[in-house]
A and B are shown apart, each in its own frame.
Chain A
Amino acid sequence: MEWYEALGLLLGAIMFLMALGMPVALAFLAANIIGAWIFMGGERGIGQLLNNGLGSLTTYALVPIPLFLLMGEIFFHTGLGGRMFNAIDKLLGRLPGRLSYVTVLGGTAFSTLSGSSMGSTALLGSLMVPEMAKRGYKSHMSIGPILGTGGLAIIIPPSALAVLLATLAQIDVGALLIAGVIPGLILATFYITTIWLQTKIDPDAAPAYDVDPMSITTKLKLLLTEVVPMVGVMVAIIVLMINGIVTPSEAAAFGAFGVLILAAVFRCLTWQTMKKSVVGALRVTLMAYLIVFGSATFSQLLAFSGASRGLVNWATSYDLAPLVMLLVMFGVLLLLGMFMEQISIMLLTVPIFFPLAQTLGFDPIWFGLIMLLALEISFTTPPFGLLLFVMKGVAPPGTTMREIYTSAFPFIGCSLLLVALLVAFPQIALWLPGL
């Protein structure tokens, strides 16, 4: 079978089943059964599918996500979140869309610690979305910025994905990590501008309730009793990470534990809230991880059948101008990113793209960063970006697919704009590591 036939068959099967309304995880499994049957030698291929699922689910990298979700759920169900956001609302005064800004700032700060987009989205999503919905924010004002900042996690150091990319491509890890700092901050600024524009265009997008003026002492008291303890938990985790007492993957457990202790101290921890929190975190985790179970093998089938390599080789086989070649590679990454998981994409494309980039005269650090941006975008591209499904899990009931997609688009636009800027002014990435 030619690579394009294999590609057509696998992508066709999954798109058909999903459009028909099969649960996403089951659609992956069904497409895998068909694919394993054809490409892995019939029946025995299906046993391999189960072995693969076992391998992809028994990895330590998946431990933080349920714990970040748990942290957010406890925060919400105990009412600690409500208290803190009420206080922030009052402290920030009249600024329209203030919690969206808080999301971007908090998300950016959190991204500097977390190397995981899914973890970041899980935490911010379960922390912010229910609270913002309660306050009358339109869903795109909460979902959009969170999807955006979730992606920031892999650009702003530390980033597990950046380390892996640098290792695979054999480029300087430190330089690639540092190269992400300025572009990451620029991206966060774009996000803030986007929110500002959105509140200008549609003043109803964020609630415009008035806040009574407060004295400094009231403000201070509010800050100390409602904001500092919770922020303190976050700061404590950051300190633990910086001092090397915990690794980033371990931090989530301390986050959840810290909020539990806080809830106990504030006397809002009951069996009922605990149960609700675990059930909430469990629902999103199970939904996302059964998709992980299915999609890991799907990526492998695309690789094993030769479909994805065929696509990559075909796309890079033309003799084109460097800029066009860059666009082609970027396009291939986005396309693969819709259907494949990030690490598989890197394993597949790095050995082809980096030598090619070198012959085209690209700086490898700069190219690595553009590649990370493509991977970041692919996390939130419809129809299959896993972050979209995690977000769906934590969003209020009745949030539609269209709402989530349209919320993501302006923020994907920001990333594309950043890529354009990087192409025009490579120094944005290269200045800092060159110092």
Chain B
Amino acid sequence: MTAVFKTYSALVYAMAIVAGATLLWLMISVIGSVMMRNLGMQPAAWLFTSAEYGILYMTMLGAPWLVREKGHVHIELVTAALPEQARRLVSRLVAVACVLVCVILAWKGVELFLKNIARGDFDTRAYYYPRWLLTITFPLSFGIMAIEFSRFVFGDDLMHSGEAGIHE
């Protein structure tokens, strides 16, 4: 069992590392295309397109890690006003709602991904890029986010601290 947890954890971090590398790639791709352009060369269009797609990959691959880090900003208003017991309950209920949202999006994400394959959909920019290569990130990201949020449903660690304000 611990081996499963370890592998899973490694996956969450590996996805975050890819997200970080993508952030650096944004810088490199922009500099690359500007340099090529100013040297009188045709900037490779994939440099431009990869930056656009990179934003999506970065956001989707990094989002589950940020759930683990409690980095998705939330506002504590009700949870700050409630007594301890009620606060714990509300916090877990909110986490349940988050799991639900993520499960729905993961499920619709699978459908979308399968539909893109069945229809042979392309994203048409400089290139014709298979759409499923983009939409596959939805089930992956929202699926793992659902697991990460469920840790705040069942685990000891709560999402809400009880202090008023925006929290990270």
A and B touching (Cβ–Cβ under 8 A): yes
Instruction: Please report the C-alpha to C-alpha distance between residue A254 and residue B24 in the assembled complex, in whole angstroms.
Output: 12
B72: chain A residues within 8 A (beta carbon): 23-26, 287, 290
Smallest CB separation, A45 vs chain B (Å): 10
Within 8 A of B (CB), among A392-431: 392-393, 397, 399-404
Q: Report how far A66 CA is from B65 CA in the complex, Å.
A: 17
Partner pick for B97 among A22, A57, A287, CB 8 A cutoff:
A22
Q: Nearest chain A CB to B154's CB is how many angstroms away? A: 18
Asked if residues A401 and B75 are in contact (CB atoms below 8 Å), the reply is yes
Taking residues whose C-beta sits less than 8 angstroms from the other chain, chain A's interface range is 35 or more
Give CA–CA (A293, B109) in the complex, Å: 14
A278→B24 contact, CB < 8 A: yes
Q: Which residues of chain A are within 8 angstroms of B94 by Cβ–Cβ distance?
A: 20-22
Q: Which residue of A lies closest to B87 (CB)?
A: A21
Write the B85-129 contact mask toward A (1 if CB under 8 angstroms, else 0): 000001100100110011011001101100100000001000000
Q: Of A21, A24, A62, A278, which contacts B90 at CB under 8 A?
A: A21
The stretch that binds B, out of A46-54, A130-138, A345-353, A356-364, is A46-54
CA distance A401 to B75 in the complex (A): 7
A250–B101 CB distance below 8 A: no
Please indicate the chain B residues that have their CB under 8 angstroms from the CB of A26 in the complex. 72, 97-98, 101-102
Interface pair A400/B165, CB less than 8 Å apart: yes
B15 CB to nearest chain A CB (Å): 11
Task: Assess whether B76 is in contact with A21, with CB atoms less than 8 Å apart.
Answer: yes
Q: What is the minimal beta-carbon distance from A229 to any residue of chain B, in angstroms?
A: 20
CA distance A107 to B141 in the complex (A): 36
Contact, CB under 8 Å: B55 / A58: yes
Contacts of A281 in B (CB 8 A): 23
Query: Which A-chain residue is minimally distant from B20 (CB atoms)?
Result: A278
Cβ–Cβ contact B75 & A404, under 8 A? no
Q: Is the CB of A278 within 8 A of B23?
A: yes
Q: Which residues of B contact A222 (CB under 8 A)?
A: none
User: Per-position contact with A for B1-35: 1 when CB-CB < 8 Å, else 0?
Assistant: 00000000000000010011001101100110110
- Assess the B98–A282 pair: CB atoms within 8 A: no
Q: Which of A19, A22, A33, A66 has a CB less than 8 Å from the CB of B26?
A: A66
Q: How far is the CA of A21 from the CA of B160 in the complex (A)?
A: 8
Task: Name the A residues within 8 Å of B91 (CB-CB).
Answer: 21
A200 part of interface (Cβ distance < 8 Å): no
Closest beta carbon of chain A to B100's beta carbon, Å? 8
Contacts A62-B55, A67-B27, A289-B59; A246 near B98 (Cβ below 8 A)? no
Residue contact A47 to B108, C-beta cutoff 8 Å: yes
- A1-23 vs B, CB cutoff 8 Å, 1 = contact: the mask equals 00000000000000001111111
A residues 34-81 with Cβ under 8 Å of B?
Answer: 43, 46-47, 49-51, 54, 57-60, 62-63, 66-67, 70
Within 8 A of B (CB), among A253-268: 253-254, 256-257
Enumerate B72-90 residues with CB–CB distance to A below 8 Å. Answer: 72-79, 90
A94 located at the interface, meaning its Cβ lies under 8 Å from any Cβ of chain B in the complex = no
A279 at the interface (CB under 8 A from B): yes
Residues in A neighbouring B130, C-beta threshold 8 A? none
User: Is B105 within 8 A of A46, CB to CB?
Assistant: yes
**Minimum C-beta distance from A250 to chain B (A):** 5
Smallest Cβ-Cβ distance to B159: which chain A residue: A21
CB < 8 Å neighbour of A253 from B27, B97, B163, B165: B27
* A411 → B minimal CB distance (Å): 18
In Å, the complex CA distance between A203 and B52 comes to 47
Chain B residues closer than 8 Å to A257, beta-carbon distance: 27, 31
24 contacts between A and B (CB under 8 A): A23-B74, A26-B98, A30-B101, A47-B108, A50-B108, A50-B109, A50-B112, A54-B56, A54-B135, A58-B56, A60-B52, A63-B30, A67-B27, A70-B23, A253-B34, A282-B16, A283-B71, A286-B19, A286-B66, A291-B73, A392-B166, A400-B166, A402-B164, A404-B166
* A contact residues vs B (CB 8 Å cutoff): 17-26, 29-30, 33, 43, 46-47, 49-51, 54, 57-60, 62-63, 66-67, 70, 245-246, 250, 252-254, 256-257, 278-279, 281-283, 285-287, 289-291, 293, 383, 388-389, 392-393, 397, 399-404
Give 10 nearest A-B pairs by CB, closest first: A400-B165, A253-B30, A23-B72, A401-B166, A401-B165, A289-B59, A23-B74, A286-B62, A57-B56, A46-B108
